[in-house]
Amino acid sequence: MNELTILTTLAVVHFVALMSPGPDFALVVQNATRYGRQTGLYIALGLSCGILLHSLLSLTGVSYLVHQQPTLFALLQLAGGSYLFYLGYGALKGTWAKINSPTTTEQESEPTSLLLSNKRQAFSRGFATNILNPKALVFFVSLMSSLVPATMSLSGKGIALIILWSLSLLWFSFLAWALSTQRMQRKIKSLAIYIDGLCGLLFSFIGLSILWQSTTALAAQF
């Protein structure tokens, strides 16, 4: 395949993966619907920067080396699974509090200091959610090893990184924008508690499954 075909295939595969439900998708949905457009856009920027770093590490072979070290990869899974479970637990805890206090307003039930209204905090949440997800590491190792040949030119690899980053930023930014329009906000306001609950369950399930995999892998080595 020539480089144009490789880059086109890479873009299509990556975009399809971006649209599939997962921690990144859920994070944007949960926070854009609750805290608004600015928070959603900075989370999108954080996620896309995490994807850029994953892509760079995979392209240079660092992620492959990590994946080939069972103990190191299991520890990464442990950290990532714990973080995703932490996000899920927080969302479920907030949902449970609202169910038990239905008359409490959102502002009253959540202290301002805990909201993702800070740009740096929103960016960090997006970046950490992506970079600590071991499934993302495996995905990009597989994507780069199968589609990007070692003989590809340096400019071609640079364009590949730009494509992966820009597609991620555009998709998650569009998602944040679409979910934070006034019309959409009015429609989903009554569904906020269900969105939080579903996202909490998704984070918790993925986090626990990763934790189970990591503990099983570590136990098998000792």
**Per-residue DSSP letters for 41-88?**
HHHHHHHHHHHHHHHHHHHTTHHHHHHT-HHHHHHHHHHHHHHHHHHH
| pLDDT greater than 80 at residue 222 | no
Q: What is the mean pLDDT of the chain?
A: 84
pLDDT of residue 103: 56
pLDDT of residue 117: 55
Q: Residue 164 belongs to what domain range?
A: 3-221
Q: What is the pLDDT of residues 57-76, one digit of tens each?
A: 998 888 888 878 888 888 88
Please, is 47 exposed, middle or buried when counting C-beta atoms within 10 Å of its C-beta (0-12, 13-18, 19+)? buried
The rounded distance, in Å, linking the Cα atoms of 134 and 80 is 6
Tokens of 105: 């307003």
CB 161 within 8 A of CB 84: no
Asked whether the CA dihedral 119, 122, 124, 126 is positive or negative, the reply is negative
| pLDDT greater than 90 at residue 112 | no
Name which residue leads in pLDDT, 100 or 39: 39
Helix residue spans in 101-221 (DSSP H): 106-109, 119-131, 134-147, 154-179, 182-188, 192-221
Nearest of 125, 96, 119, 122 to residue 109 by alpha carbon: 96
Token pair 């240079």 is found at 60
Q: What is the pLDDT of residues 11-67, one digit of tens each?
A: 999 998 998 888 899 999 888 888 888 899 999 999 999 999 999 999 888 888 887
CB 34 within 8 A of CB 187: no
Return the amino acid letter for 112.
T
Name the domain count of the chain.
1
Tell me, rounded to whole angstroms, the distance of Cα 132 from its chain centroid: 9
